Chains A and B, each alone.
Chain A
Amino acid sequence: GKDRVFNTPLCEQGIVGFGIGIAVTGATAIAEIQFADYIFPAFDQIVNEAAKYRYRSGDLFNCGSLTIRAPWGCVGHGALYHSQSPEAFFAHCPGIKVVVPRSPFQAKGLLLSCIEDKNPCIFFEPKILYRAAVEQVPVEPYNIPLSQAEVIQEGSDVTLVAWGTQVHVIREVASMAQEKLGVSCEVIDLRTILPWDVDTVCKSVIKTGRLLISHEAPLTGGFASEISSTVQVA
């Protein structure tokens, strides 16, 4: 209804701050930022207010019922401000969860889990899949657990890790590698960026011995650096 789903004026910092306020009273709030590229005015609210609320109030208050949704990733014609993948900026912040689905079926389950999760979550939706992806999605609600990566395809020679749109690219790569080079790839969709499923990835790398991570975000300081250094330490 109109009193539950409404448009806001143009003020990202205000929108997220507003959402945090609603969530702190216990009500469920789902705040939408038009494009992930515009989430930066709200960065302070997310990192300093939302992420740390439970901690600094000694668990008296929390804004766990807040979920922030934002279209994410490149779409071909987005250029500087409609294409960004800022998951790495948020991965650096304890207290929030960051989730990226790869398909409609995944999106519904993961989004419902984010909403029910007792921590503030950021749900990045690959915008190029809005029109490109078609899938059978059950009408009833269902959950897909957070912080669990999914092994989409088993293999023995190399582990390929990706999230969002890149999962589909990686899948193609895996079948090309099998056809042309006879290389058997294990494909993993990370699904939750923060906190990420270290066990699944490490188990896979122990099996295959090699790891390749692919993401759209810039290389330096991108989340792949975190994954690769953790895997090497393990």
Chain B
Amino acid sequence: MRKMLAAVSRVLGVAQKPASRVLVASRNFANDATFEIKKCDLHRLEEGPPVTTVLTREDGLKYYRMMQTVRRMELKADQLYKQKIIRGFCHLCDGQEACCVGLEAGINPTDHLITAYRAHGFTFTRGLSVREILAELTGRRGGCAKGKGGSMHMYAKNFYGGNGIVGAQVPLGAGIALACKYNGKDEVCLTLYGDGAANQGQIFEAYNMAALWKLPCIFICENNRYGMGTSVERAAASTDYYKRGDFIPGLRVDGMDILCVREATRFAAAYCRSGKGPILMELQTYRYHGHSMSDPGVSYRTREEIQEVRSKSDPIMLLKDRMVNSNLASVEELKEIDVEVRKEIEDAAQFATADPEPPLEELGYHIYSSDPPFEVRGANQWIKFKSIS
């Protein structure tokens, strides 16, 4: 008798689910909604990006999913690091999701992007799967750099990393922009750096070259207020990073609002594509974690400050509120996305933990490109590796 009841309730339970799904689908969502966004401060520009934008339901759901994926992925990386499954250095970007997702929304997949070491979010938005990213963090062969790059050295198509030396990626970005112009394919290069790197000399060298030759380079300063542990007031004579390009026009963007970032990026990309030369964007954003996993993140800022940003300007929360309040999505629907994202991350973490490490012979690969393979001595003269490339 009990078995019968159990069977009946199971059947009923299954029958209930499609009914509720039908309920959600029949609820009328708006197709799109218009939002007002913050006006950008401008430097050497007559007009800036528009102050209103239209967000479609489809785009909204996509951005929400992407930002939530980046957020969950970073938190999972934090967890794996504390379990010592990820070693080395790990720089997390939770809090800055609106930057990577918003930038990607404003450009094409054929455009180019290069950034520094806080790169997991960009690796994802540029097209790699969470699996490949987490496996790279754990140093396994399923990783995007075959397990040899780690946190700071992830690459994808039209995504040039993932660079450890602060500021060194900016002249590289200007070079990529030169190639874009030379190849004539109407592509732009997004060259990112942080508020700490903004004081490096080579950045100013890159500004000069980009402006001189009118390169389609969008310089983007991700200002999260702290260069490792040094606040911007203590490091920079001028904290108006969008003006630092001097002869390069600039705009200051609210980096916690994904729609603001998207519009500004579209504006900047259009500017560059029209051949007017480089442009500078400062994204004002915030990171919840410390500089890296070895930094608790509270010795140079207060917990209250972090809490305040989390409660007032969290990018995911801002998008969610907007979408729910203008009937673009329901709270339950977004919660479902959360559940799906969590599962995806969990699966990826399982893969990343279980995948084997790259074989020892690969230690010497790719040092040189050489045919026949070049021989490399290991830590002693009896160990030899081949550098195959």
Contact = CB atoms under 8 A, between A and B. Distances in A.
Contact of A82 (B87, B89, B196): B89
A180 B363 CA distance: 31
Contacts of B87: 77
B201 A9 contact: no
Interface string B171-209: 000000000000000000000000011011110000000
B290 interface: no
A10 B197 contact: yes
Interface residues of A, number: 16
- Interface size grouping (class) on chain B: 20 to 34
A41 interface: yes
B3 interface: no
Interface in B140-191: 150, 152-153, 164-167
Contact of A79 (B89, B167, B201, B377): B89
B15 to A, nearest CB: 54
A38 interface: yes
Nearest to B232: A9
Interface in B95-152: 150, 152
Contacts of B153: 80
Contact of A41 (B89, B201, B235): B201
Contacts of A14: 199, 201
A79 B200 contact: no
A77 B200 CA distance: 26
B88 interface: yes
B201 A10 contact: no
Contact of A10 (B150, B235, B377): B235
Contacts of B202: 41
A217 to B, nearest CB: 12
Interface of A: 7, 9-11, 13-14, 37-38, 41, 77-82, 219
26 contacts: A7-B230, A7-B234, A7-B235, A9-B196, A9-B230, A9-B236, A10-B167, A10-B200, A11-B200, A11-B201, A14-B199, A37-B165, A38-B165, A38-B166, A41-B201, A77-B88, A77-B89, A78-B88, A78-B89, A79-B89, A79-B152, A79-B164, A81-B164, A81-B165, A82-B89, A219-B377
